[in-house]
């Protein structure tokens, strides 16, 4: 009996340890000497199985990126270039609708510095990061790098001030809040925006780039600038060649020449911008704005307003070189095709380079290879088997229809780039409703075009529409109707990666939705509307209100960049029974552990439990979690009574049924 009781007590004791301080990342450091005054600060992380750290390059609006805070930089040392990262992985996050960049198992950060104060003995660096699996932890690591004494002759040489590399550094504080920062703080506290390591590109990503490019090449074949060139070019080879084998050889050389031209273009792009810089360009606000304008111009051209062509002098010079014969002549024939067809292929190449830029590394080269291979194959195959030309459809109005169809698609995609820029700048000019209204108008017009109700300048007379065109029109019309409920808050999961998120809208709960409290004037004092519920962001203010209305508090320890917090809100809180409880039976208190707003000086303190400096609102709620609940993971939920005492156990990332049962049990206890 005693053994049984001992075992039972042990089981119950250990079952209560689910809430604990978790440290899934172990850090080490080392200093590498480059010269008497230059050093490499190397920080290496070992990450527990199934966990991952987010890189500095996870885009805005996604999980929390890693930041580096170099202390006392002004007048002591200079950052040389940008910090380098070890190989990372890239994956689309359907919750935040951005690519997330992260490390698994191992991570290394290397920052090169130049000492400009010969009396400097050490450098302090703080790394803030988010590490996640089913739950997320906002953590940090502090490093002190001891510097060797600088020789007298070197010390004399570095007394001349060095101009700061402000272009390679951005201020790191207040990434969530709106507080301003003094110029002195900007100069002393830096976050290094690093260029991703060229080796980080994953093979899966390169294969995806290749197949996307290959598909784009085949689509480009169906445009009016390229399709008619197939029989014309093949006939030139068959007529001018002395025999069939010579014609086949010339056609193969022609195809290889096309591939060479486009691959060289990819090489040039990579050489000019750099393998890593392409990624930084692709996520830049100005890049998105410029590409929006370019796509709109190409779309208008495809719709028939004007033709975008390269200078005629280029084509004439290339044509003259093509008459030289041999491989050089064939190479210039391929170059002539690239120039003449640019008005149709340019938009494919532009889109392709954008996708490749987001992947980085050699992706532009792989993309150009896939595109040119698809473009070259028909020329080679039809030269080998000229009889196949009889099976090709004749050139005609259908080619312009393809071009106009692509024009509508380009116009719709252009607004994705404008939306990216608007989201980063948080200007709220292109919120979800406006974006969807634009897409509804574009795809509605496309449906009318396919049904023959709208014509463009270069369309042929259309006495009737084919069955294929009718079916395509019905498909586009169905898609247009599908978009409409999005104005009323429908999630539109089929296109979740394209429009702004639900929260980024004029009416976050849907147009005309009055299911929650309607206006800010109706809200309790100090409360806000979030996720469709009345929410407090401060524990003490929420407790005062809970006593007033005699309801328990639901503490929601969350984060702006917590993936699984968003999943709980999107998949569990939206359940009708759960939502009813959150609206009517509890006081919701969302405490954001990654809120970077600085606390007033009189509210800052040293945590008695961790010894950490509590400087921000997020630090305050993190310390509250650790001190009271002995855990540092999010999401985490607990029900608290009006006396401030817990009336439930803590619970984390779970399914709807378990969460609902937990809520009901807590309410019964209350």
b/e for 240-259, b at 16 or more Cβ within 10 A?
ebeeeeebbebbbbbbbbbb
Structure tokens at 503: 């929260």
pLDDT tens for 103-131 read 999 999 999 999 988 888 899 999 989 88
pLDDT tens for 370-387 read 888 888 888 788 777 766
Strand 587-592 and strand 553-558: pairing?
parallel
Report the pLDDT value the prediction gives residue 180, as an integer from 0 to 100.
35
Model confidence at 557: pLDDT above 90: yes
Report the pLDDT value the prediction gives residue 160, as an integer from 0 to 100.
45
Q: DSSP alpha helices (H): ranges in 27-151? A: none
- Which is more confidently placed, 522 or 136? 136
CA 147 – CA 117 distance, rounded (Å): 11
pLDDT tens for 574-633 read 888 999 999 999 999 999 888 888 889 888 899 887 788 888 888 899 899 888 988 888
- Spatial contact of 368 and 345, defined as CB atoms under 8 Å apart: no
CA 557 – CA 657 distance, rounded (Å): 20
Which string of DSSP letters, residue by residue, matches 568-592? HHHHTTTSHHHHHHHHHT-EEEEEE
Structure tokens at 90: 């890239």
- Which is more confidently placed, 239 or 468? 468
Report the pLDDT value the prediction gives residue 7, as an integer from 0 to 100.
42
Model confidence at 362: pLDDT above 70: yes
CA 19 – CA 646 distance, rounded (Å): 14
pLDDT tens for 196-241 read 333 333 344 677 788 888 888 878 777 666 766 676 666 666 656 5
Q: Residue 50 region, left (φ>0) first, then alpha (ψ -120 to 50), else beta?
A: left
User: First vs last Cα of the chain: how many Å apart?
Assistant: 35
Report the pLDDT averaged over residues 259-280.
65
CA 471 – CA 348 distance, rounded (Å): 25
CA 644 – CA 587 distance, rounded (Å): 13
pTM: 0.48
Place of tokens 């519920």: 533
Place of tokens 């590498």: 32
Could you tell me what percent of the chain has a pLDDT over 90? 22
The 10 Å Cβ neighbour count of residue 6 is 10
Model confidence at 560: pLDDT above 60: yes
Model confidence at 449: pLDDT above 80: yes
* Helix (H), strand (E), coil (C) string for 286-324: HHHHHHHHHHHHHHHHHCCCCCCCCCHHHHHHHHHHHCC
Band (pLDDT 50/70/90 cuts) for residue 389 is low
Band (pLDDT 50/70/90 cuts) for residue 300 is confident
**Gyration radius (Cα) of the chain, Å:** 31
Report the pLDDT value the prediction gives residue 547, as an integer from 0 to 100.
94
Structure tokens at 29: 């450091």
* Residues near 473 by beta carbon (within 8 Å), at least 6 away in sequence: 447, 450, 451, 465
Model confidence at 14: pLDDT above 70: no
Domains of the chain (ranges, CATH numbers): 25-146 (2.60.40.1250), 207-392 (no CATH), 399-495 (no CATH), 527-668 (3.40.30.10)
Angle of the 229-240 helix axis to the 244-273 helix axis, nearest 10: 130
Model confidence at 161: pLDDT above 50: no
Structure tokens at 268: 């040039």
Q: Which residues pair with residue 528 across a beta bridge?
A: 535
Q: How far is residue 62 CA from its own chain's centroid?
A: 7
The 10 Å Cβ neighbour count of residue 151 is 12
CA 569 – CA 491 distance, rounded (Å): 13
Strand 136-146 and strand 122-132: pairing?
antiparallel
- Spatial contact of 336 and 318, defined as CB atoms under 8 Å apart: yes
Model confidence at 165: pLDDT above 60: no
């Amino acid at each position: 009996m005693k053994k049984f009781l001992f075992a039972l007590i042990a089981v119950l004791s250990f079952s209560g340890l689910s809430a604990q301080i978790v440290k899934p990342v172990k850090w080490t450091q080392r200093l590498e000497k480059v010269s008497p005054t230059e050093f490499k600060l190397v920080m290496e992380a070992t990450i527990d199985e199934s966990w991952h750290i987010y890189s500095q390059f996870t885009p805005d609006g996604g999980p929390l990126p890693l930041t580096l805070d170099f202390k006392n930089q002004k007048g002591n040392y200079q950052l040389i270039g940008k910090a380098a990262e070890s190989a990372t992985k890239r994956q689309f996050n359907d919750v935040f609708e951005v690519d997330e960049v992260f490390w698994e198992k191992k991570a290394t950060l290397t920052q090169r510095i130049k000492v400009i104060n010969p009396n400097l003995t050490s450098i302090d660096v703080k790394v803030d990061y988010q590490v996640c699996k089913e739950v997320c932890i906002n953590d940090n690591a502090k490093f002190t790098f001891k510097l060797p004494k600088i020789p007298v002759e070197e010390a004399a040489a570095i007394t001349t001030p060095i101009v700061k590399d402000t272009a390679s550094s951005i201020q790191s504080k207040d990434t969530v809040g709106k507080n301003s920062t003094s110029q002195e703080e900007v100069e002393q506290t830096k976050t290094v925006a690093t260029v991703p390591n060229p080796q980080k590109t994953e093979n899966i990503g390169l294969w995806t780039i290749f197949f996307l490019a290959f598909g784009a090449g085949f689509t480009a074949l169906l445009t009016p600038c390229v399709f008619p060139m197939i029989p014309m070019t093949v006939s030139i080879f068959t007529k001018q060649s002395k025999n069939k084998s010579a014609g086949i050889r010339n056609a193969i050389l022609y195809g290889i020449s096309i591939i060479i031209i486009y691959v060289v273009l990819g090489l040039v792009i990579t050489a000019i911008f750099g393998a890593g810089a392409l990624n930084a360009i692709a996520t830049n606000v100005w890049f998105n704005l410029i590409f929006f304008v370019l796509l709109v111009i190409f779309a208008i051209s495809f719709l028939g307003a004007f033709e975008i062509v390269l200078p005629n002098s280029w084509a004439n010079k290339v044509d003259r070189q093509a008459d030289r014969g041999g491989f050089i002549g064939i190479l210039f024939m391929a170059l002539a095709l690239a120039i003449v067809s640019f008005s149709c292929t340019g938009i494919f190449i532009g889109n392709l380079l954008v996708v490749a830029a987001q992947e980085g590394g050699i992706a532009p080269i792989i993309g150009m290879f896939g595109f040119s291979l698809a473009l070259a194959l028909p020329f080679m195959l039809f030269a080998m088997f000229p009889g196949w030309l009889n099976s090709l459809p004749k050139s005609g109005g259908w080619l312009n229809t393809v071009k106009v169809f692509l024009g509508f698609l380009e116009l719709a995609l252009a607004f994705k780039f404008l939306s990216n820029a608007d989201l980063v700048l948080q200007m709220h000019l292109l919120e979800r409703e406006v974006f969807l209204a634009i897409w509804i108008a574009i795809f509605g017009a496309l449906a009318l075009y396919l049904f023959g109700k709208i014509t463009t300048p270069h369309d042929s007379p259309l006495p009737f529409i084919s069955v294929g065109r009718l079916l395509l029109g019905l498909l586009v019309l169905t898609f247009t109707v599908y978009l409409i409920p999005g104005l009323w808050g429908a999630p539109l999961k089929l296109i979740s990666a394209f429009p702004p998120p639900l929260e980024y809208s004029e009416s976050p709960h849907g147009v005309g939705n009055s299911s929650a409290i309607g206006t800010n004037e109706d809200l309790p004092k100090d409360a806000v509307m979030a996720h469709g519920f009345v929410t407090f962001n401060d524990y003490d203010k929420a407790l005062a209100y809970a006593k007033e209305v005699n309801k328990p508090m639901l503490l929601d320890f969350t984060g702006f960049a917590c993936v699984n917090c968003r999943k709980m809100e999107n998949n569990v809180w939206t359940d009708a029974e759960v939502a009813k409880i959150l609206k009517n039976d509890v006081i919701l208190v969302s405490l954001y552990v990654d809120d970077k707003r600085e606390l007033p000086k009189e509210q800052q303190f040293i945590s008695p439990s961790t010894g950490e400096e509590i400087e921000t609102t997020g630090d305050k709620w993190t310390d509250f979690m650790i001190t009271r609940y002995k855990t540092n993971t999010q999401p985490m939920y607990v029900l608290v009574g009006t006396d401030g005492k817990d009336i439930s156990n803590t619970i984390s990332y779970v399914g709807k049924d378990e969460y609902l049962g937990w809520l009901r049990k807590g309410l019964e206890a209350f």
